[in-house]
Each structure stands twice: as C-alpha cells, then as structure tokens.
Structure 1
C-alpha cells in the first residue's frame, strides 16, 4: 500500500516539476525576446547616473510598465560598440561613459548593448577609470554635483568614509553597488513573479490540468497494473475486466493491455488541451480538435478545485519541485553542485 502512495506523490511532483519548468522556459523566452532584463538594468543606471528622463523615472514602477512601457518605449540601453574604450571619452552622459569602460565584455544585439548584469568589481573598476580620466575623485564629484547626478550622493559618502584612500574608495564603491544590485534583483523578481503567476494560470487552463483528477488517474494506473499482473497469472479469460477500457480491441486482449499501458495518467492529463495528438502504431501523428470537451471541463465546477491546486503548485517554481522530487526518489546531488 505504501508504494501506491509513493507512486502518487512522485507522479504529482513530477507533473508539477515539468509544468513549472515549462512556465520558467516561457518566462525566460519572453524576457529574452523583449530584452527586459538588460533594459531593466540600464533604466536603473540611467536613473542613478544621469537622473530621470524629464519628470519621469527611467525605471518602471508597476508590472504594467515593466512589460508594457519598458520593452516598447524609449530604450535606456546605450548603442552597441565593438571598439575598445577610448583614451579620451566622447560620451555626453555618465551612463554612456560607464558603458565605454564596460563594452569590451559586450556583444551585439539589435544595435543595443546586451549587458544585463554587471559584477560589482567591474563597476568599481569602471568608476576608477572614470576617476583617472577626470583627474581625481574630487574633480569627478564636483562634476557630478554640477550636473545634478544622483550618483553624487553615494560616491561622496563613500569618499568621505575612505578618507582619501583610493583603494578604500574602490572597495566602498564595489560594496555599495553590490547592495544596489541585490535591491534591484529583489525588485525585478517581484515583478517577474506576477508574470510567472499569469503564465501558470494560462498553462493550467490551456491544459485544463486538474490535479485531483490526475491523482485519481495515477491510482487508477496502479489498479490497472495490478489487474494486468492478475491477467498474466490467470490467462486470457481474466482479461475481460480490461475490455471496457479499450473498445477498439474487443477480441485482442494483448492489444488491449498494450493500449492501456501505453496511455499512462500523465499522457491522459496533457491530452485535455484544445488541440490533442495521438500517435498510432503506424503512420504519422493525428491531430484533433478537442475544443468542445476542453470548454466543458472549464465550465464544470467539479474541476475548479483541481485547477486551483495546480495553479498554486506552479507558483512554487521548478527549483522547489525538483528538490521535493529529488528527496522522494533519492537522487543524490554532487558535492560541487550542492554548494552552488
């Protein structure tokens, strides 16, 4: 009996893991297609180095702006350049001057920079290169203050703390930027969670995945396996109980058993989408419209608790379900991977 419950738990966790991975893949594809991660970073840098664009902040403040205004309005990212950093800067903004010091690690993407993550050490070194070009920290701070750059406040505080020590100033800038990136990452993830929730809801409804129904199907699979085992011991006569499950093979018990075992619970649950596919023994796959049955499932209140359970399960994300799956199956993680 325990093995039945273990099979049920593994089956549910595996389904949640696969669907969570699909949600994560769709989200990552959307982010890459729209360049949201890079635009989010450079919108923050524009705000921090150059100040808002007029009266409006570069960085979005709502989920609608993240996936509405940010991808399609004025791009905050600098233009891509494959040239090394110039000896004397020709940039007109501080964010463009920063990019001059970082563009050697860049690669082309739609004419704009593809840099979507800046290590704190690289940022600190870029600032030190700008300091050298300006003739010292005091001169740089004076220009930042004169240009009303929001970066003046943090750098001035770091310089006061360093008490004139350039190495301490560099480490202070690195530490400050590391904290800013952590804060920005938390803000970005807060927005992305809403997108993952929306994708999870869409995926749940498209596949009409009722977790409670799926659990019952797994238990049914176990019962069928037990019945097949009894059939093997009892001969052809004992197969009569399976015939109602495969009316296409009323006189061929072995074809009946094959058909039953080749359509496990997971195959059945993903077959509830508006468009389904069946792969016959011979010939090409057959696509069929399943819109009527799918719509019937959507309007049947009995399926709603299962849909809701699936939706909330997908919110936990693929890493959570992978950890649960690993614990249930006893899969070991190598020591090097566990420390990452």
Structure 2
C-alpha cells in the first residue's frame, strides 16, 4: 500500500461519503468526516451511517454545517488533511423547485468555505462532486466532458456548474490541484430514501403506487455506489499537474480527451456506468428481485428533468485504468438484500 493518507471528507453521513470513507478506512487511511446531519431525509439513516464509521479507530467526525465557516476551518486545521473530498451538498433535482434557498446556502456558500480552507491549507489534492445534471438541455449522447454545460434546467444543476467554475478560479489563483467529478444516477445499499430505487422498493413492498415519469420513457446511466467510490479513490492519485510543471516536463503530452485546464491544475471527469438503462427495465429488475409486481402510476415529465443520461467515461479509464461495470440487475439485487435486512422486511 502507498503511504497512508489523511483524508477530510465532507458529507460522511451521506450516501456516497459513507461508502467512500469506509473504502479509505479499509485501506488503512485516516478519515475525518464533516456533516451537518440535516433533516432533508431520515436523520436516523445518517446517524446509523456515522455510527458504523465510528467503529473504525481511524475515523473522527465533526457534526456542523458547511455554512459555519469557523467550524469548518477549525475541523480542517485540526485534521491537517493531505486530501480534501467535498461531497456534502443539498442534493435532489426536484427538491430544488421547492426550496431553492437551501441550494444557495449549501452548494454555493458552503463550497466557497471549502475552497477557502483548501486555499489556506493547500492539500495535495482537492476533489469535489459535480453532477450529470450540468449537461442540462444537451441531447447528444453519450455525454462527454467536452460538451457545453451552459443550459442547466434546475437550480441544483446551476449551483453545481457554478461550483466547477469557482473551483477553476481557485485552482488558477492559488494553485491547489483540483478534480471535479460528475456523478450519474448513483444507487446501492445505504442509499437516499428520495432516490428512485429506494422509493420503488418501498412502494412495491407496501403495495402502494410508484410514480413513473414521462410515461416510462426515461433512460438513465445507473452507477453502482461501490464502482463510484472506487473511481473516486483512484482519482485521488490522479493529481492534475500545474501549467508550469507541464512546461518544464520534456515531451509532455496531454491524454486524449483530457479536460486539464491550460491555466490551472484543474480537470473534470465523468463517473458513470457507460450504459443507459430504460427505467421500466430497472423497475422490472426490482419486481423480479422482490417477487412482486409494482402498481405503476404513469406521469408526464417533471419540470427540470431530462429523458436520458449516458456517460462517456473514456477519460476516467485513461486516467485510472478503471471503468465502473456493475450490471444494474446485480446492483438492484444487492440493494434489495440490504433494504430487507435494514428494515427487517
């Protein structure tokens, strides 16, 4: 194993942060988590995730909001991280239509505070979560990182696009190597109750209707959470070089399709399964695993939603040698097993 790292992760009580922290702890690294334990969804699920992480001697945590700049600064100074992974955010595309202020506070103000502590502490690598939602009104599939992202359809997407731009400015001005990764539809054990797989499983088991938008003509690049965090872990070691380093290196050439900025140690990378799955096929996989049919409530497209997503992950493969590949039926089966165990069904 390489030298153990000190990693500071925002959002460790969240779905993805929990899985990433556990992977790093299993590898022998030290992790300090930072999470506000907000009530956007069941706080007990978040507390249970943190309780499992606290079973590792190398895990410590601060429970505070990203908007609390003093708390964040104190926590990062105490942790002295080699790497910062910023995952905490106000999530959810549809919720941004109901409570837009939450996205300004968490995703813009909170991310600004993370960038400020990175500027002060100068970790060897800052990694930040973005989203496939930044592709907005793009219709040409698959989505490659070079596609324009100037047409966001929700405030959530707009704040994440802003995060990418803010991070680029800080990387240029202050030289902190920074990687943004765009998630596609992430699913798996310990997932969020507001996500489709969780809601569909619960509805089928309870015999209540499940809402299926665009009358079922929806396609998603479903990405299994273990694949996602493995990709993040590998990207930690793929540190973007500064322009001065590139100029000094004899014969340096960029990777094909690299998004490395010409003026900053900054890049953006897709993380998806490089596949697109029809939503009704996803529902049928859940039905098969549960042995029970769904009561389907077909609805029109929701405002701010898109009919299809599909990731081009060739850059991720070139940078890390890795590409997510868990088949969605296998991932659904693992989730259903976890759901039954967690809820005692």
Is the structural similarity TM-score above 0.5? Answer: no
Q: TM-score range by the shorter chain?
A: under 0.3
Structure with greater strand share of residues: 2
Asked which structure has the greater RCO (Cα within 8 Å, sep 6+), the reply is 1
TM-score, normalised by the number of residues in structure 2: 0.25
Structure with greater helix share of residues: 1
TM-score, normalised by the number of residues in structure 1: 0.26
